[in-house]
Amino acid sequence: MFRILILASALALFGSCSKETKEKVPPTVILVSFDGFRNDYIDIHKTPNLLKLKAEGSSFEGLRPCFPSKTFPNHYSIITGLLPGNHGLIANTFWSKEKQMLYSIGNQEVVTDGSWYQGTPLWNLSSEQGVKSASFFWVGSEANINNRYPDSYKKYDGSVSHRARLDTLRSWLKQKDPPRFISLYFSVVDNAGHNSGPLSDETGVAVSDLDQVVGELMAIQQQHPYASIVLVSDHGMSNLDPSMGINLPEEITKDTSGKIIAGNVFYLIYNDDTTKINSWKNTLKQKQSEGYAVYDPTNFPEHASILKGKNSPDLMVIANAPHWFHVSAYKQPTGTHGFDPYKNEEMLGILYAYGPAFKKGYFHDRPINNTHIYPLIAEILQLDYDKKSIDGQLDSIQFILN
């Protein structure tokens, strides 16, 4: 009798498991950003979990950021599939002639103002089609964009531990009606790269910390096998040579008639006086060397979309690494980014895709543009979108799908 009861219980359990296995669970995508994680960190620093994730999923030689290779423009390009000139965030700090206001990542009032953000973020696209979304930090997630927020989101606080972020991810996935699109953000590697340079021990420690995060993400995915992980970074990092600092003419930097947004990598110059702009452009080009490039809306390279949007500067001067600009308001960082990603391969980030949606052990030996991630995730989640309304193209990346 005892044996019969055991056999009956085993059959009941087997039947239950079989039923659950046969039930089709809708796919989930966990989009994770490691800010400032250069594409070769996986080889330079100790990363056993990342190497495992790469070997068992799909990966690329690098993820090419949009121009310029700054944090806010590229995170928002990833989440909208748009180039910065089309989604409006052309830099971390820029001037809006239309609003007569400065956008700055340190100003919470403007960062949470949805009128600065164009396009349809993935959390809006999913929520509009009945797919729940959640975000533990992402550019734009705290803003009311087209009268929507992610269904669950957190206000940015860099002091929140990695443990707390992962525990929240676990809790979201355990909900009765869990979100199917989730974004996560980690900044520790970017901070270390700025403070001590990409090849430093400090950066190595930060990379190791995030490698532990990858181990936990893979364990979470194993507990939720219908979920896929898309791990990205917004840009890479270059070491700055202290001897390669350069100055722009004071007739430009000291002028107060317009707006000049200065940084170690580029200047954005706004001035309604076209005579003055033309004079400055000529002055810069006469003194121009291999240290920097000068662009305006008439001569920008094809990939520099920020010079054709509504927040476009009248003049942009961008350093060519390893050159950088002396800016008195800023302490010279040891490492930085923002350089032209088509000229400087150290600006390349990462794209690793892991889980049931992706091929196993697939490596693409060329970089791919980050705007293609949007249609990739939309395809996995079976979300409809207007292909003509974005810059990303599914055809350019769908070959990694299972």
Q: Are strands 58-60 and 351-354 parallel, antiparallel or unpaired?
A: antiparallel
φ, ψ of residue 272 in degrees (nearest 5): -75, -10
Query: What is the arithmetic mean of pLDDT over 307-314?
Result: 88
Q: Which two tokens stand for residue 203?
A: 């950066």
b (16+ CB within 10 A) / e for 360-398 = eeeeeeebbbbbbbbbbbbebbebebeeeebbbbbeebe
Side chain identity, residue 314: D
pTM: 0.92
Q: pLDDT tens-digit profile of 358-367?
A: 999 999 999 9
What share of the chain has pLDDT > 70, as a percent? 93
CATH topology of domain 242-332: Gyrase A; domain 2 (3.30.1360)
Q: pLDDT tens-digit profile of 231-275?
A: 999 999 999 988 999 999 888 999 999 999 999 999 999 999 999
Q: How confident is the model at residue 300 (pLDDT cuts 50, 70, 90)?
A: confident
CATH classification for the domain delimited by 25-82+119-239+342-400, as one of 2.40.30.10, 3.40.720.10, 1.10.1780.10, 3.90.1150.200 = 3.40.720.10
- Look at residue 361 in the predicted model and tell me its pLDDT: 97
Q: Where are the domains of the chain?
A: 25-82+119-239+342-400, 242-332
Q: Which two tokens stand for residue 237?
A: 């990092």
b (16+ CB within 10 A) / e for 302-336 = eebbbbebebbbbbbbbbbbbbbbebeeeeebbbb
Angle, helices 373-380 vs 71-80, to 10°: value is 40
